Amino acid sequence: MVRRWISYLAAWSGCLIFYYLYREWLSCFLLVAVSCLPPVSLLLSLPAMLTARMEISVPESCSVGEDVRMDCRLHCRFPVALWRVKLPVQHTLSGRTWVQKATDPLPTDHCGVLRIRVQKPRIYDFLGLVRLSFGKEQHFSTAIRPAALKPAQLPELGNRVSVSWRPRRGGGFSENHEMRLYRPGDSLQHIHWKLSAKTGKLILREAMEAHQSRMLLLLDLSGQAEELNRKLGRLLWLGDHLLEKDLKFEVRALTGKGIDTYKVADADDLDACLLALLDSPQAKNGSVLQHAADAAWWYLIGGDADEEA
């Protein structure tokens, strides 16, 4: 806008000099016309400047490498000469920041979450000499999800992963149950009255629940962007692989915030875990192996391109 004002003042100064050197009706007309341009331009632009409304939409998520663009639109019933908006973006996983152009595609080469702020929306008059702010600051985020990547060699589950049955805390209904003698303090609601009448003793129906040995997927959220793509892609594939086998597990990751642990029992839990990791800062140093936990089975997810699991 400063350059436009400099250009306008240079034109006005030229008309003024022309008026002093050539005192005829043409020089006077040009000086008056150029002097009236800013207020006339503002007057004609005010209806649009006061009624304009900006609409921005950003996809909530996308796959890595997908072509994604922001949809920025200005709604107004009157002609608009020029409008601008500032779009600072932060990639949470890498910490990189930049200013995005609304017409350029979003960078989706690497996994993470793009946090986009809509700052300083401005609309200008026809000459570009006066601007007004419109709209409010807005915040958007887009999660760039990894592609599932199968490890070169699948980790062996072996005999360390087992499922046993144990009494359910608090009782309740269960398709799996065992019969045992009544003990003082047991709830009378769970007594099997027909069987008790036959045996002459109080028999209790005890609800049982499956108990699986602890399984851990370990991950260091650190390394180059391509390494992180591979690590998170392998996490996604291994998580789906374990869930297909009806196995519950935990994801333990070292991030820039410390050690994060996520319990995964279904696809929704895995998706929530993945989104949380995509929105976490990288770990600067250390390893998740330094924070060991007792588990019957664990697997460290690496990011090497030629990794043999």
The model's pLDDT over 25-60, given as tens digits with 9 standing for 90+, comes to 888 888 899 899 999 999 998 988 888 888 888 899
pLDDT of 177 strictly over 50: yes
Distance CA 35, CA 39 (A): 8
Average pLDDT rounded to a whole number, residues 153-181: 60
What's the token pair of residue 220? Answer: 């260091």
Which of 174 and 205 is assigned the larger pLDDT? 205
The pLDDT value recorded for residue 264 is 92
Average pLDDT rounded to a whole number, residues 193-216: 72
The pLDDT value recorded for residue 153 is 75
Q: Which amino acid is at 211?
A: H
The pLDDT value recorded for residue 111 is 93
For a pLDDT cut of 70, what percent of the chain falls above it? 86
Q: Which amino acid is at 111?
A: C
Band of the pLDDT at 308, cuts 50, 70, 90? very low
Least confident of 164-168, 226-230, 241-245: 164-168
The pLDDT value recorded for residue 234 is 93
Strand 138-145 relative to strand 61-63, pairing: parallel
Q: Is 5 helix (H, G, I), strand (E, B) or coil?
A: helix
The pLDDT value recorded for residue 198 is 79
Query: How is the chain split among helix, strand and coil, in percent rounded to 5?
Result: 30, 30, 40
Query: Which has the closest alpha carbon to 257: 284, 225, 236?
Result: 284
pLDDT of 291 strictly over 90: no
Average pLDDT rounded to a whole number, residues 194-220: 74
pLDDT of 209 strictly over 70: no
pLDDT of 174 strictly over 90: no
The pLDDT value recorded for residue 159 is 56
Distance CA 103, CA 290 (A): 46
For a pLDDT cut of 90, what percent of the chain falls above it? 29
Which of 306 and 143 is assigned the larger pLDDT? 143
What would the pLDDT profile of 234-244 be if each residue is shown by its tens digit?
Answer: 999 999 988 98
pLDDT of 150 strictly over 80: yes
What's the token pair of residue 219? Answer: 């991950």
Distances (CA, A) of 35 to 6, 19, 46, 306: 14, 13, 19, 71
Residue 128 phi/psi, 5-degree rounding, is 75, 20
Query: Which string of b and e fits 86-117 if b means at least 16 CB within 10 Å?
Result: ebebbbbbeeeeeebeeeeebebebbbbbbbe
pLDDT of 166 strictly over 70: no
pLDDT of 164 strictly over 70: no
Q: Helix 25-51 to helix 2-21 angle, to the nearest 10 degrees?
A: 160
Which of 231 and 212 is assigned the larger pLDDT? 231
Least confident of 10-19, 100-109, 193-202: 193-202
What's the token pair of residue 114? Answer: 């793009």
